[in-house]
Amino acid sequence: MEKNAKIYIAGHRGLVGSAIVKNLEEKGYTNLVYRTHLELDLTNQEAVAQFFENEKPEYVILAAAKVGGIVANNTYRADFIYENLAIQNNVIHQSYVHKVQKLLFLGSTCIYPKNAPQPMREDSLLTSPLEYTNEPYAIAKIAGIKMCESYNIQYGTNFISVMPTNLYGPNDNFDLEKSHVLPALIRKIYLAKLLNEHRDDEVIKDLGVNSIEEAKEYLTKFGVDENSVEIWGTGKPRREFLYSEDMADACVFLLENRDFKDTYQSEESSNDTCTQNSVKTQEIRNTHINIGTGTDISIKELAELIKEIIGFKGELTFNDSKPDGTMVKLTDPTKLHNLGWKHKVELKDGIKTMFDWYLESQ
């Protein structure tokens, strides 16, 4: 890509999009285009078409999506499948219409079956049922992969799909009610440390409440006090975590150095149902690319690592009456390694950097 190439980043404010914007800027790209949701509703077909007509981006990074935790995914099933399909359909199709040179579509490892062999390889896709709670979101993302594949095959476009593992980093969501496990643990353990050290003013400021009594009452709902932090489940489930800026670097690497043709090995198959001439076709599938570290850590080990980094002197307790969820969820990043990229930031260093960012953002 030329440094002055016009690059549209959809979803530039989120954890994923903001990390990609930062990476592009650090690499010297000067012609970045983005719009807030208020400025451009990506579910609006006419508005997206008009945006592409006006801006004519040369490259597109599709990081925009409706996302949420287990409760949100299971409660608002129609919203998750409709809005994500609408966003993808509009942006991918207009990228074809306006001859975008390359598009990068970001999905999620929830596309893989609930009981996929571990670590999860790209060829596990569509081999057995999905996890029920996030099935609508996963199906939308699978449709995005297949849409990119199909446009590439039929129209010769250059659209690449990547599936990042669990991400963490600057601009993450630290909301105690809605955040994912790693940022939630950081904030809970940090607040417990403040309580333990009687730094009441900092607790009040962090939570935006009026008194330390109000703060303590609120934190009780999340199992946080000056002596301990409660964690749901047994602590035994294992999870893989990738630093968001590593993920961004992988995305930009693929945009700069790889094309759709590099993402698959086609296989010849024959249609044996034909009674006269056997019809041979080139089967192109599983072209998406996992972005991960290939290593995991138990929730208990993760909590203890965060406790060490933050310097909390209290206890960690595990409430085994609460659900553990899937016990192991690990990606196989061999395909990405073979394409020439490997993660650089190890978990301990990434958590330290993320915690520093959180403190500075207060």
- Residues labelled as active-site residues: 137
13 C-beta neighbours (distance < 10 Å), count: 15
Q: What whole-number distance in Å separates Cα of residue 116 and Cα of residue 111?
A: 10
93 C-beta neighbours (distance < 10 Å), count: 16
Q: Are 241 and 354 in contact (CB under 8 A)?
A: no
Contacts of 158 (CB under 8 A, 6+ apart): 101, 102, 103, 152, 259, 260
For 66, the token pair is 């409706």
Q: Are 18 and 34 in contact (CB under 8 A)?
A: no
Question: In the Cβ-directed half-sphere of 347, how many Cα atoms lie within 13 Å?
Answer: 21
Task: State whether residue 101 is helix, strand or coil.
Answer: coil
* Backbone phi, psi, residue 133, to 5°: -65, -35
Task: State whether residue 277 is helix, strand or coil.
Answer: coil
Q: DSSP for 184-209?
A: HHHHHHHHHHHHHTT-HHHHHHHHT-
Rounded alpha-carbon distances, angstroms, from residue 127 to 19, 38, 114, 115: 32, 39, 10, 10
Q: Are 295 and 114 in contact (CB under 8 A)?
A: no
Q: Are 177 and 171 in contact (CB under 8 A)?
A: no
Pairing of strands 59-62, 166-168: unpaired
Helices (H), the chain: 15-26, 45-55, 70-75, 77-97, 135-155, 181-196, 200-207, 212-220, 244-257, 299-310, 334-339, 347-361
Task: State whether residue 310 is helix, strand or coil.
Answer: helix
